[in-house]
Amino acid sequence: MISVRVPATSANLGPGYDAVGLALSLSTRISLDRAQHPEVEVSGTGAELVPLGPDHPAYRAARFVAEIVGEGEISFHLIQENDIPPIRGLGGSAAALVGGAVAANELFGGQIAAPDLLNIVCELDGHPDNAAPALLGGLVIGTLTPTGVSAVRLEPKDLGVAVAVPDFAVSTTAARRALPENVTHRDAAFNVGRSGLLLGALATGEYDLLRVAMQDRLHQPYRAHLVPGLEEVIEAALGSGAHGACLSGSGPTVLAFAPPESAPAVAAAMKKTFEAGGVEARSWALDVDLMGARVEPPGEVSVPSPVPVL
């Protein structure tokens, strides 16, 4: 059986809508082997919310890879051990998808080269903002082109991450429907300027610029009604020492960048602010995951999961 560990991801990161994603030190583990008929087992965080059988995203990705390499009739035994809260804006389905694709490719002898595997997972997920960092690790800026994915990978240094995960889900469909068909030229220019500043700050380590660079006018204002307390939680993060903060993906998780030593206090402040508004929440102080999806040797002990703050 092949086992692959894949990190959670945070997409959008303020103004970087559908283009910027970050790998985080929460993860899911996908194990895969040949079987006579489809078998899917899921344990861990949110197991009851993950589909079983061939509809599981990792299983679908494994089947896609199998067809590419000429193994279209195969079935799999798939096991997922999950630490990523599902349907919370942390890329859980993309992580599973990447894990299934990488595990299947490994099972079939690594026939698909890394650049082609990147194109496959981004095509399956629909865009690269979650799938690319889940596969590659670090911070990935990517876009789909007619010839495949064009992407740049960065490794932010000395950067802590705090996340607060409220105890409710935001439907991706509802989050997309909340966005207007058209935006003003002024708002588009606002985001373009801050997207450039965001990437420059993360590439150079000038993290004091993130407070401004993570501001957004293209998706957060339209989705704020789906996440009660969003503005207050962001303000609490900034007030407790964060460099900048934003909605993670389509939410409801809120993410903040902070000095590593301040990340636990920032995470606690965000959790407290959610709960002051009557919303239960968990929070974590995390690292940027620089490894991305990786095959674990047989018998390797799983990496301990980060412990929630408070």
Contacts within 8 Å (CB) and 24+ apart, 186-195: 187/217, 187/218, 188/218, 190/15, 190/215, 190/217, 191/15, 191/17, 191/216, 191/217, 191/218, 192/15, 194/14, 194/15, 195/15, 195/16, 195/19, 195/20
Task: Let me know the angle formed at the C-alpha of 183 by 177 and 186, rounded to the nearest 5 degrees.
Answer: 150
Euclidean distance between CA atoms 47 and 36, whole angstroms: 24
Euclidean distance between CA atoms 210 and 135, whole angstroms: 25
Q: Work out whether strand 139-145 and strand 148-154 pair parallel, antiparallel, or are unpaired.
A: antiparallel
Query: DSSP character for 114?
Result: H
* Overall residue count recorded for the chain in this entry: 310
Q: Work out whether strand 39-44 and strand 75-82 pair parallel, antiparallel, or are unpaired.
A: parallel
| Cβ-contact 254, 246 below 8 angstroms | yes
Euclidean distance between CA atoms 66 and 237, whole angstroms: 45
Euclidean distance between CA atoms 32 and 110, whole angstroms: 14
Cite the annotated binding site by residue number.
85-95
Cite the annotated binding site for ATP by residue number.
85-95
CA distances from 11 to 91, 109, 207 (A): 8, 31, 18
**255: which strand partners?**
163, 246
